[in-house]
Structure 1
Amino acid sequence: MTPLPDLILEPLVRAALIEDLGTYGDVTTRAVIPAGIRYTARLNARAAGRVSGMQIAALAFRLVDPALAVTTKVPDGAACAAGEVLMEIAGDAASILMGERVALNFAGRLSGIASQTADFVAETRGTRARITCTRKTTPGLRLVEKQAVLHGGGFNHRFSLSDAILIKDNHIAAAGGIAPALTAAKASASHMMRVEIEVDRLDQLAEVLEVGGADAVLLDNMETATLTEAVRMVAGRLITEASGNMALGRIAEVAATGVDYISVGALTHSARTLDLGLDF
Structure 2
Amino acid sequence: MPLKKLSSPLYPAESVNQVPLPLADQLKQRKSESSAAQRTIVIAAGHDACVMIETALSVFEGVFAEDAIAVTSHRHFREVDGCQVFAASHPIPNTEGLNAAKRVSNKLVDCGIGTRVIALVSDGASALLPSPVAGLTLGDKIEVNDLLLNSKLEIHEINLVRQSLSTLKGGGFLRLAYPAVVHSFSITRQRIYDPAVIGSGPSVGTLGTVACARRLLIEKGLFIRLPRAVREYFENSSVPLELPLAPRARLVSLAPPTWPRPTKKEQRTVAELTVVQF
Question: What band does the TM-score fall into relative to the shorter chain?
Answer: under 0.3
Give the number of the structure whose residues are more often helix, by fraction. 1
Scaled by the length of structure 2, the TM-score of the pair is 0.28
The structure whose Rg is larger is 1
Scaled by the length of structure 1, the TM-score of the pair is 0.28
